[in-house]
Amino acid sequence: MPNHPKWKLLVVLFSCVICISGCVERKQLEKLGLSTAVGYDLEKENQIRGTVVVHKFDPLAKNLTKVITVEANTSKTLRQKQNLETDQKLVTGQLRCIIYSKELAERGIIQLADALNRDPTIGNTVYLTVTDKKASSILKMEKENLKVDLGTYLYNLIKQNVESEQLLSPTLHEFNHAYNDHGKDPVLPILKIKKGNVVLSGMALFRDDRAVAELKGDKLFYLKILSDKFNSGTHEMGFNRSRFKRIIRNEQGHGFRSVYNKFFINIDNIHSNTKIKLVDKKNLRFKVDINLESRLLEATEILNLSNSTNIRYIEKIVNKEMEREIKSLLIYFQEKLVDPVGFGNEYIAHSRGKMLSKKGWRDKYKDAKFEVHVNNTIVKTGVSD
Amino acid sequence: MNVNLHPKESLLFNAFLLMFIIHSVQSGVGIVGLPRIIFLDAKHDAWIAVFLAGVLTSVILWSMIMMLKQYDSADLYGIHVDVFGKWLGNFLSIVYMVYLTACFFVIILNYVEIVQVWIFPNLPTWQLVLVLILLAVYAVYGGIRVMVGVSFLSVTGTLWLLLVIFVPLRYTDFTHIFPIMNVDIYHMIKGIKSTTLSIMGFEILMFVYPFVKEKRRALLYVQIGNLFTTLTFTLVTFISVLFFAEDSLSKVIWPVISMLKIVRLPNLERFEFIAVSFWMLVILPNMCFYLWAASKGFSRIIKRTQKMGIWIIASLAFVASFFIKARYQMNLVTDMIAKVGFYAAFCYPVILTIIVYLKKWLSRRKQSHAEPS
């Protein structure tokens, strides 16, 4: 080797690289237990019970997952205690789903959510959920019929429904966003056990970080329409049969079906566009304009749809019905003092001067008035008239 | 000491490379935390404040070039001596050297802190500091042309990160930016002032100027570089304001990295790891140019070799890194540098330009007075 300064420098650099890369903490996959789902219950005053589903990478193990339950005061102590009960180091980089029990959610969950925010190893796209029972009972469920571990199952369950637009996305980021916005409140999905399976049953409405109300089934459709651009989702509406008498195709020999004593119609949304406008700042009047393009996919009577006036007639009735239902939903939100749609953000965006505080908006929100206009166009009726 | 510096022909570089130098030196470790710092002052009009700071920078760059044009091929050290004489001039030069060294130090420490928080919580500070310092020393040893190459690679190699910033746009709420211009003038000016730490670095121009080949065209490329920085910073701030809620943007320390957390690639769950690692490429030219400019003083003022200066500054920074441990100390030092930087990079060049012009005017008048008699 020639005695050249560049050589010396190279040797120094290489030895640095080798020495220093060995100094960093190593993480071998076989020695890690990846927690994929975490559940929190309120154990008693000042104590929470944490349950974690751990995914193992051990080809010899019969069960790929392990469930550990411990009690502590903070979520990080929970993790430490959980670590004492497993042979693998618990890491949270693959955390997919977090479940809060209803009790806990009613008391407030921001301290737990904040711990998640603070931890750089936890992603922003973790799903937060609420359950009506104990979180541990969901995580401890019999998992023989599950091919994947529960965390991944829950993740897929929610993701699938978010992607098919049945559900508002409940990621940690969205929760933070809504919680920290002065004019918006978070919503999280509710998990339920149904015949040994975990299913989604509705949405929990939050006032700040406390769950105060529940939104069920078909109301989700409206919440989704109100808060998002929306490209799918079906909605069913029931009417008195007499209102549709005019356009029901009354063919000889068929007559009325007596399966239902009401008339049901199913609207499949293709495209929606919602505009929320503050029309009167002083009296706090909001105008909600909803434009829908939809398909009529199912009706419990055979309708005569070849006629454009008939379709126009259905549109009119459906519009009215939707307006009524959306209005009652908004009033329900107002009664519960929750603002999941984000009317407050719209108001703040139009008011100059000092920014309205969260409480300030809540005081104003009580007196807000809403005008709802739905413009539903039935663009298609399936493959038949 | 010669006022003018005439480097060898082989050391000169083309003027258009100034574009890359200015941009790469400006965008460093500061931009990661920039949106939050401005948001604290200017609220949701932060992006306007950042843009105005960029405009201000462009004015200052113009005045710098005007000042440098008064000389044939001088750097700040030479101008100091020419304007203030040997003693006061050299004293000011040494003060500026200390400032440059401090910048070098703060950049490294801030980056190490990011790495520690986001990737390796157990990594001792000195290890990464040592690696970074050696890397910077190695680049500066290569000379000015190598460093220009580094800054060129840094800009082109990290340009794609700009595209990634559009991914968070899917999660934004456009009501956040309204009403536009809601903040009063006082807070807007405060916001502009807070942008200094992130946007400074362009003072390096006063040191690399003698090495530019076509000095007449320097102004154009410097302005293009600064324009690019301004637009990038404004865009990043704008998207941050949309992406974060009011209360969370004022809490997160590194909004840009937090924002990139939302990016998910099919087989890479955590994009911020890539972003933080790539950030080293972004700060590398910063470290190099600060180290180079500070060490240049050794050969210009004290008549020692620049190599000695490099090692003195490098070891000073290394030793000093042991004294900074907690986040609040870090904040203190960074704030101090930001404050000093405001005067050193924003105010001082303008004042110096005025003094240089005054001096030229006086000497010209003296000449014209002297001639008739």
Residue B184 has pLDDT above 60, yes or no: yes
Quote the strand ranges of chain A, DSSP E: 32-44, 47-56, 65-72, 89-91, 97-101, 127-131, 187-194, 197-207, 210-216, 234-239, 263-280, 285-299, 369-380
Q: Which residue has better confidence, A133 or A188?
A: A188
Contact flag B117-A93 (C-beta cutoff 8 Å): no
What integer pLDDT is reported at residue B285 of this predicted model? 93
User: What is the mean pLDDT of the segment spanning A250-255?
Assistant: 57
| Helical axes B46-69 vs B185-194, angle rounded to 10° | 60
Residues of B in contact with A123 (CB under 8 A): 261, 264, 269-270
What integer pLDDT is reported at residue A251 of this predicted model? 59
Query: Strand A32-44 relative to strand A89-91: parallel, antiparallel, unpaired?
Result: parallel
| Short-list B131, B196, B177, B129, CA closest to B340 | B196
Q: Which structure tokens are listed for A282?
A: 């002083």
Contact flag B176-A345 (C-beta cutoff 8 Å): yes
| Cα dihedral value B304, B305, B307, B309, nearest 10 | 20
Q: For chain A, what is the mean pLDDT?
A: 82
Check if B258 contacts A (Cβ < 8 Å): yes
Check if A20 contacts B (Cβ < 8 Å): yes
Top-ranked range on mean pLDDT: pick from A63-72, A91-100, A248-257, A293-302: A91-100
Q: Would you place residue A20 in the very low, low, confident or very high pLDDT band (cuts 50, 70, 90)?
A: low
CATH number of the domain that residue B357 is part of: 1.20.1740.10
Summarize pLDDT for B211-240 with one digit per residue, the tens.
998 888 999 999 999 999 999 999 999 999
User: What is the mean pLDDT of the segment spanning B275-288?
Assistant: 91
Q: Which residue among A124, A180, A351 places its CB closest to the CB of B262? A: A124
What integer pLDDT is reported at residue A262 of this predicted model? 77
Q: How many domains does chain B have?
A: 1
Nearest chain A residue (CA) to B133: A13
B29 within a domain of the structure (yes/no): yes
Cα dist from B205 to A155, A348, B209, B300, whole Å: 53, 44, 6, 17
Mutate to test the interface with B, among A14, A121, A124 (most CBs of B within 10 A): A124
B116 within a domain of the structure (yes/no): yes
Check if B187 contacts A (Cβ < 8 Å): no
Residues of B in contact with A124 (CB under 8 A): 258, 261-262
What integer pLDDT is reported at residue A256 of this predicted model? 53
Dihedral sign (CA B59, B61, B66, B67): positive
User: What is the mean pLDDT of the segment spanning B129-134?
Assistant: 91
Contact flag A173-B171 (C-beta cutoff 8 Å): yes
Summarize pLDDT for A64-123 with one digit per residue, the tens.
777 888 888 888 888 888 888 888 888 887 888 999 998 888 888 888 888 888 888 888
Check if B327 contacts A (Cβ < 8 Å): no
| Short-list B101, B144, B132, B345, CA closest to B226 | B345
User: What is the mean pLDDT of the segment spanning B338-349?
Assistant: 88
CB count, 10 Å around CB of A260?
Answer: 12
The CA-CA-CA angle for residues B274, B338, B147, to 5°, reads 55
Nearest chain A residue (CA) to B257: A120
Q: Is A199 exposed, middle or buried (0-12, 13-18, 19+ CB in 10 A)?
A: exposed
Cα dist from B307 to A120, B91, B201, B318, whole Å: 40, 21, 22, 17
User: What is the mean pLDDT of the segment spanning A45-70?
Assistant: 78
Strand partners, A41: A49
Check if B55 contacts A (Cβ < 8 Å): no
- Distance CA(B317)–CA(B3), nearest Å, equals 29
Mutate to test the interface with B, among A17, A162, A345 (most CBs of B within 10 A): A345
What integer pLDDT is reported at residue A182 of this predicted model? 87
What integer pLDDT is reported at residue A1 of this predicted model? 46
B183 within a domain of the structure (yes/no): yes
Contact flag A25-B122 (C-beta cutoff 8 Å): yes
B372 within a domain of the structure (yes/no): no
B2 within a domain of the structure (yes/no): no
Summarize pLDDT for A141-198 with one digit per residue, the tens.
766 656 667 888 888 889 988 888 778 889 998 898 889 888 889 999 998 888 878 8
Check if A92 contacts B (Cβ < 8 Å): no
pTM over 0.90: no
Check if B131 contacts A (Cβ < 8 Å): yes
Residue A253 has pLDDT above 60, yes or no: no
B315 within a domain of the structure (yes/no): yes
Check if B124 contacts A (Cβ < 8 Å): yes
Contact flag B123-A23 (C-beta cutoff 8 Å): yes
What integer pLDDT is reported at residue A25 of this predicted model? 67
Distance from CA of A138 to the nearest CA of B (A): 26
Check if A12 contacts B (Cβ < 8 Å): yes
B351 within a domain of the structure (yes/no): yes
Domain holding B342, by residue range, is 9-367
Contact flag B173-A342 (C-beta cutoff 8 Å): yes
Contact flag B179-A352 (C-beta cutoff 8 Å): yes
User: What is the mean pLDDT of the segment spanning B64-68?
Assistant: 91
Mutate to test the interface with A, among B173, B242, B244 (most CBs of A within 10 A): B173
Nearest chain A residue (CA) to B123: A24
Q: What is the set of domains in chain A, with CATH numbers?
A: 29-216 (no CATH), 220-250+260-380 (3.30.300.210)
CB count, 10 Å around CB of B168?
Answer: 22
B165 within a domain of the structure (yes/no): yes
Q: Would you place residue B315 in the very low, low, confident or very high pLDDT band (cuts 50, 70, 90)?
A: very high
Q: Residue A13: which residues within 8 A CB-CB, separation 6 or more?
A: B134, B138
Residue A51 has pLDDT above 60, yes or no: yes
Residue A254 has pLDDT above 60, yes or no: no
Check if B180 contacts A (Cβ < 8 Å): no
Residues of B in contact with A174 (CB under 8 A): 171
- The answer to whether residues A234 and A318 touch, using CB atoms and an 8 Å cutoff, is no
- Distance CA(B201)–CA(B292), nearest Å, equals 13
What integer pLDDT is reported at residue B10 of this predicted model? 85
Q: Would you place residue B124 in the very low, low, confident or very high pLDDT band (cuts 50, 70, 90)?
A: confident
